[in-house]
Structure 1
Amino acid sequence: MRIKKKVLQLHKLLGLLTGLVVFIVSVTGCCWVFKSEIQQLTQTAIHIPVESSPLLTPTQIEKIAHKKYPNRLIHGVIYGQADEPITLVYYEFEPEFYHSLYIHPYTGEILAEENHLGGFFGTVLRGHVRLWLPKAIGEPLVRWSILIFVVMLFSGIILWWPKKKKHLNQRLKFKWKPSTGWKRKNFDLHAILGFYICGLALILSFTGLVMSFEWIQKGVYFGLGGTKNPTYEIPQQLSEAIPADRPAIDRLLGMMQKEYPQGEKIEIHYPYTDKDCILVEVVRTEGVIYNADYRYFDQRTLEEVKGNTIYDAYKNAHLADKVLRMNYDIHVGAIGGIAGKIIAFFVSLLTATLPLSGFMLWYGRRHKKSRKKSSKEKKALELK
């Protein structure tokens, strides 16, 4: 009982410190889960009539991109299905700039533009990862709060665990009567719902921590027997040969389309320096990224270069590589398809109720209504 009292005090203290952060992260997580499905319903899809003429090359797209934003860093160009526009992505870390242009694949006309940091989902993302605060403040606050929340999940199980087996049934079912007060109902909501979702909430929280803390990421990877570098890194190229008349990067699209006729998307990343390889990312399955292929090519000769990270051709991935590559898809529920997303949505939603019900428990105990004194107590006070 002494241990439980100490755990209870710790649980309350940590909850008061992190409750608001957990609430915001959970609610924004609910919204983010169905991002692609909501966008498909609310945005008009752009369909391009398929022509026999060749698609614009990465070099041609690059010229269009520099004309639109001359001083912005181009991240890559995405070729999707035959009737879809080409997507050109800009990304800069500092100052943050994350835009996409949707370009007609035959004429080069810019059909649409998207600011990924603006609009509804841009706002949701900024709230989820940094509480709409500056990155230097918000991101550490979120990651440490979620780490504390994981500790709270374990302390919550210790507090939930009944002293006697006969009381176990009371911790598993709601047994409300017309006379049951709101405080009891609030306690049951906190304890019983918390018990049922704690396992899945732990998975969602921990996968978030893997993306937030490098030491957790490496601990998981090497703990599973991984031998590669778990951090994203583009290898250096091998050749110093003079480029051909036609830029080598333009030949990659045809090569990848032949090799991946069923691929969903082919993203060609422009080299940041003369020494970097060209990265080609092939998304094989719509809605998930864990089984994508990452291939690296010499930007002058197109000789394939072997990387030493987990981001490689998926067929070369070992158990530890696969687990880490699945991390994001697990975090958003996409690993289980639409059913997995529904589960992730409700787990996030119910997780958001825990700080609320926990605060009401704390507030109710600190502000108890003074009970009315009995007539005997009043007489005793009068005689004093």
Structure 2
Amino acid sequence: MSKRSQKKTTWMKLRKALNQIHLWGGLISGIVVFIVCLTGTIYTYNTEIRALAMPEYHKVQIEGDKINPDVMLGMVEAQVDGEIVGIKVPHAKDATTSFLYTKAEKDAPASRSGRRPRPNQLAVNPYTAKVIGDPSEVETKTAEFMKKMFGLHRWLLLNEIEKPLIDGVENRKLGSWISGTATLLFLLGVITGIVIWFPNKMRSWKKGLKIRWNANWKRVNHDLHNTLGFYSCIILFLMAVTGPFWSFDWYRAGWQKTWGTYQSPDAPREEQTPLISMMPADGQEPMNIEQIILATNQILPYEGDITINFATDSLGTVAISKNRFGFFAPSAGDKLTLDQYSGQVLDKDIFRERPFNERASASIKALHIGNIYGPFTKLLYFISCLIATSLPVTGVLIWLNKMKKKKR
């Protein structure tokens, strides 16, 4: 046998083995993958869908110039049953300004971990200073539906069953294991599918790039599975390789070790000296909101949404995060810690300046849900997730057609 024939035989054997892995992995995980991908497609635009259900809390009519944020703070403060701890100033002119506040102790929910609860957000019209309300306290059918979609995507709704299905295993964990295992099989299917896509004769590779709509339905179904899977394979790989991160501790630890960011929970943590503001001898007052925004824009000179967490006491610092604004804006923001009196930068965390391994490890959620470069990648992920939903269906039809052909 010639070397060329031997190589061809080896390649065909490899393709056949991978095809079997691709087939049975898809058949075993098909139903779960269909559910996870369908709910993932809907949940891609979770934030936008929730905002559309209650537009008055997110959009306002532009009416001249915005009120000075410090003046607005004084007008809103008296109407809040709690303590205002920060403010979120959006770049968009038609967006509401959000004041971060912690509820009074009698109203504040108990924290399981004992940590300080995450502050609520109070939507305010920046042109009239009218308090619109706290969107988290408004119950809508849309929010309930999206909550169901998340539970179905993450736990297959097993979290809503009180009695454990398996002794000693929490239903939420069981659902997470099932969806995580199906995602791993889907990841295997994506990898094997990429290899299988390449034809036996390389000169025929162009056929895998188009759908022959004028052919019979079996051929069209095959092309839909083959071609759409190829075009979306990179995004499908990113979704699948990050999905099990929330299902398995060993997978999460492996991911972090791969990028060199793993920290053992038993290892002693280094105690860092807390940053403090230096009280000026001349009795200078702390910076107001407008001054903090000006200082932030000088250090981070780009358009974006600014979130300011006020200093907790006279020695406390001002914590700021800024996220870029635009269709291609990255989701990761930059963070600053400022002296509340002088505006001096005490700490700076610019995402683009981090080492690549830290950026990759910190972007796990953005890589999974598509919020890497704002609305642009969200749209790509939405289309790819829609394709992923169709793959189990078209794949099963291909298998059934082959089974019928063998019987005949």
Common fold by TM > 0.5: yes
CA-to-partner distance for each residue in 1:267-323, whole Å, 9 max, x for gaps? 23478999997532122334645452112357899875447xxxx134643444444
- Equivalent in the alignment of 1:23: 34
Structure 2 matches for 1:1-384, cutoff 5 A? 1-34=12-45, 43-44=55-56, 45-47=59-61, 50-51=66-67, 54-57=70-73, 64=80, 66=82, 77-81=87-91, 84-88=95-99, 100-104=121-125, 110-115=131-136, 118-134=143-159, 135-165=172-202, 168-175=205-212, 180=216, 182-208=217-243, 214-215=252-253, 217-219=255-257, 221-222=259-260, 237-239=274-276, 251=288, 254-260=291-297, 263-269=303-309, 279-286=319-326, 288-290=329-331, 292-296=333-337, 305-306=346-347, 312-314=349-351, 316-324=353-361, 329=366, 331-333=368-370, 335=372, 338-365=375-402, 371=408
Whether the 8 Å contact between 2:62 and 2:94 is mirrored in structure 1 is yes
**Is the Cα–Cα contact under 8 Å of residues 284 and 292 in structure 1 kept in the other structure?**
yes
Is the alpha carbon distance of 1:109 and 1:344 closer, same or farther for their aligned partners in structure 2, counting shifts above 3 Å? same
Count matched residues: 352
Cα pair 1:239 1:301 within 8 Å, conserved: no
TM-score, structure 2 as length reference:
0.63
Contact 2:197–2:208 under 8 Å retained in 1: yes
1:347: how far off?
A: 1.6
Check conservation: 1:150, 1:206, Cα contact below 8 A: yes
Identity of aligned residues (%): 23
Amino acid at match of 2:135: E
Task: Give, in angstroms, the shift of residue 78 of structure 1.
Answer: 1.8
Partners of 1:289 and 1:329 within 8 A in 2: no
Quote how far apart the aligned CAs of 1:234 are.
11
Report the Cα offset of residue 215 of structure 1. 3.1
Could you tell me whether the CA contact under 8 Å between 1:221 and 1:321 is conserved in 2? Answer: yes
CA deviations on 1:123-144 (whole Å, 9 max, x unpaired) are 4444444444425344444344
Whether the 8 Å contact between 1:30 and 1:349 is mirrored in structure 2 is yes
Q: Is the 8 A contact 1:295 1:304 kept in 2?
A: yes
| Deviation, structure 1 residue 333 | 4.8
- Secondary structure, aligned partner of 2:199: coil
Query: In the aligned structure 2, how far is the partner of 1:203 from the partner of 1:355?
Result: 18
Where 1:51 maps in the other structure, the secondary structure is coil
Q: In the alignment, is the contact (CA less than 8 A) between 1:32 and 1:125 conserved in 2?
A: yes
Paired with 1:136 and 1:278, the residues of 2 have a C-alpha distance of 39
Structure 1 SS opposite 2:98: strand
SS at structure 2 position matched to 1:64: coil
- Report the CA distance between 1:153 and its aligned residue: 0.9
Q: Quote the RMSD (CA, aligned, Å).
A: 5.1
8 Å CA contact 2:335, 2:350 repeated in 1:
yes
How far apart, CA to CA, are the structure 2 residues paired with 1:3 and 1:65?
A: 67
* Aligned counterparts of 1:291 and 1:339: Cα–Cα separation in 2: 14
Aligned to 1:374: none
Residues 237 and 277, structure 1, Cα contact 8 Å, conserved in 2:
no
* Superposed displacement of residue 368, structure 1: 6.8
The C-alpha deviation readout for 1:10-39, integer Å capped at 9, x for no partner, is 323322332233323333343344556666
Q: Tell me the TM-score normalized by structure 1.
A: 0.66
Q: What letter is aligned with 1:31?
A: I
Distance in 1, matches of 2:70 and 2:204, equals: 72
Q: Is the 8 A contact 1:78 1:267 kept in 2?
A: yes
Counterpart residue type for residue 150 of structure 1? L
Equivalent pair of 1:285/1:291 in contact (CA under 8 Å): no
Compare 35-44 and 253-262 and name the one that shifted more: 35-44
